[in-house]
Structure 1
Amino acid sequence: MQDKVLKKMDAALSDYLFKQREEEFTHATLNQEMSGFEYVKNGDIDSLKRFLVKHRSALLPRLSESPVQQERYLFVSVITTCCRVCIEGGMPSDESYGLSDLYILKMDALNKAEDIKVLYEEMMLDYAGRMKAYQMKHTDYSPKILLCMEFIEKHMHDRITVQTLADELEMNASWLSTVFMREVGVSVSDYIRQKKLTAAKHLLSYNEYSCTDIAEYLGFAGESHFSALFKKYEGITPKEYRKRTYNKVFTNMARS
């Protein structure tokens, strides 16, 4: 059964490639395709603008008979890659994924192909602008502190301590605490807590995970510990935060 499916797909692929050659259509090379994402990742806004101007007249593969659906498919494929290259470039994952979610919601509310094309360029420039600001903000951090931040970002679901970071980076825990406070302006523990609470707010606003699941997912000691910390720093409980933001976020995005 599987062999038959594969043979049908091979035949369809052969026919598709033949028609593309007949129409003299060629995909951009991988380097050409990725160049736009590199501009975004590097925060190179001027180069990105030039790339977007060329992109407007580029011949793209047909993914749907519907012009609107065509733009939807292209938008989602591009923002998926854009989101991930920005995380690789240092953007906090909760911010990058959250931005992706919001733009997809905005795109989903549009019904004209031209409007989606405009949003596509807005999205790319937004990501690039944020990457530029992020990189400028972090140029004053020493390599060790940047590695420390990267480790925290990649291990948001674990319980991280100063000693964990010190062992990972082969540093003295006391010295790490001192340098982190001097460069970042907050203690390591406060920084980790801020990152986890930001991630928690994203999960509460855009997902239906229970507070117990979120607490476990982000490595808190338990739901009660998570709720107590959340209320201490946000002024309301996680459940109250969800009531205030969950439906509101989706309603606002649908209207914008």
Structure 2
Amino acid sequence: MKYQKELVYREFVRRENNIFHAPYNPELEFYSVIKSGDLKKTKELCSESLMEKKGLGNLSDNCLRNIIYHFAITTALVARYCIEGGMELATAYSLSDFYIHKADLCKIPEEVSNLHPIMCMDYANRMRNLRKQKICSKPVAICIDYICDNLHTRITIKTLSELVNLSTSYLSRLFKKEAGVTLSDYIQNKKIETAQNMLIYSDFTPAQIASVLAFPNQSYFTEIFRKKTGITPKKYQTLYFRNIGIGHLDCFPR
């Protein structure tokens, strides 16, 4: 049993590096990661050159025009997902116009390809900052970053208080005052948000997701999930599994 627990733990660590990649629909994963403000995973997903991505359609016989068209479509969809995530319309559209115009000025395909990760990281960074825009103090901002980067672990108030060198009681009061929710509720909310995305976009079972997100057991995960969403994880997956389309660009209002 002792070694089994260690093996399970190592599997959690391995999954932290890989779980959000192979099982996901790659396109849905890409936009969802940027929307979530996950800088690390956005950088990883952008490591492959846009010119080398498989499955890109032929939108033009001209190589430069073809990659510019794909860049424009990608940028428009990134903007749409970020709007759904809370980014202001004016900001999302302004960024989209800026980067599409920059791509249109490129002289060779490599320039467009190099612009792609810059655009994606810009949107992701802005989405990451959205969750901290109402936060005034550095300790609370540090805690929020730590929570969002370590959802695969058991996060305690003690760990966070040591991270920012504050007492647990003071940190708890400060966090509630600035974030509007308790630390424990914030951690649960972020874990459930992640669970919802995994239930929609991956093939993992509720039991596997409960383990990956470091819930004590599946029953507790189900209890918290039902409390936050009104339905069980299984029911949620049945209702929404890969049923959220990205729509068509002509349905993307400007």
Corresponding position: 1:239 with 2:234: yes
Aligned-residue offset at 1:169: 1.4
Q: What are the superposed Cα offsets for residues 11-50 of structure 1, whole Å, 9 maximum, x if unpaired?
A: xxxxxxxxxxxxxx9xxxxxxxxxx9xxx9xx69757644
- Point out which structure has higher relative CO (alpha carbons under 8 A, 6+ apart): 2
For the pair shown, the structure with the greater C-alpha radius of gyration is 1
2:127 corresponds to which residue? 91
Identify, as 1 or 2, the structure richer in helix: 1
Change (3 A) 1:45 1:237: closer
The 2-side partners of 1:44 and 1:232 are apart by 33
Q: Which amino acid aligns with 1:242?
A: Q
Aligned-pair Cα RMSD in Å: 3.5
Q: What are the superposed Cα offsets for residues 204-256 of structure 1, whole Å, 9 maximum, x if unpaired?
A: 00001111110111111111111111112211110100111014224x64897
Q: Which amino acid aligns with 2:149?
A: K
Segments of structure 1 that go 5 or more residues without pairing to the other structure are 1-24, 26-35, 63-70, 93-130
Percent identity reads 27
Change (3 A) 1:148 1:57: same
Aligned-residue offset at 1:82: 4.5
Q: What are the superposed Cα offsets for residues 167-192 of structure 1, whole Å, 9 maximum, x if unpaired?
A: 11111000000000111110000000
The 2-side partners of 1:223 and 1:143 are apart by 34
Change (3 A) 1:189 1:48: same
Q: TM-score, normalised by structure 1?
A: 0.54
Which of 38, 48, 53 pairs up with 2:101? 53
The 2-side partners of 1:81 and 1:214 are apart by 31
Corresponding position: 1:157 with 2:152: yes
Change (3 A) 1:45 1:197: same
Change (3 A) 1:56 1:49: same
Change (3 A) 1:168 1:142: same
Segments of structure 2 that go 5 or more residues without pairing to the other structure are 1-63, 65-74, 80-90
Q: Is the 8 A contact 1:177 1:188 kept in 2?
A: yes
1:193 corresponds to which residue? 188
Corresponding position: 1:220 with 2:220: no
2:205 corresponds to which residue? 210
Change (3 A) 1:173 1:46: same
Q: Is the 8 A contact 1:90 1:150 kept in 2?
A: no
Q: How does 1:36-51 map onto structure 2 within 5 Å?
A: 49-51=97-99
The 1-side partners of 2:118 and 2:201 are apart by 20
The 1-side partners of 2:165 and 2:180 are apart by 22
Q: Is the 8 A contact 2:195 2:209 kept in 1?
A: yes
Q: What are the superposed Cα offsets for residues 104-127 of structure 1, whole Å, 9 maximum, x if unpaired?
A: xxxxxxxxxxxxxxxxxxxxxxxx
Aligned-residue offset at 1:55: 2.0
1:171 corresponds to which residue? 166
Instruction: Provide runs of 4+ in structure 1 moved above 4 Å.
Output: 43-48, 80-87, 252-256
Q: Which amino acid aligns with 1:91?
A: M
Corresponding position: 1:229 with 2:224: yes
Instruction: Kindly tell me the number of residue pairs found equivalent between the two proteins.
Output: 163
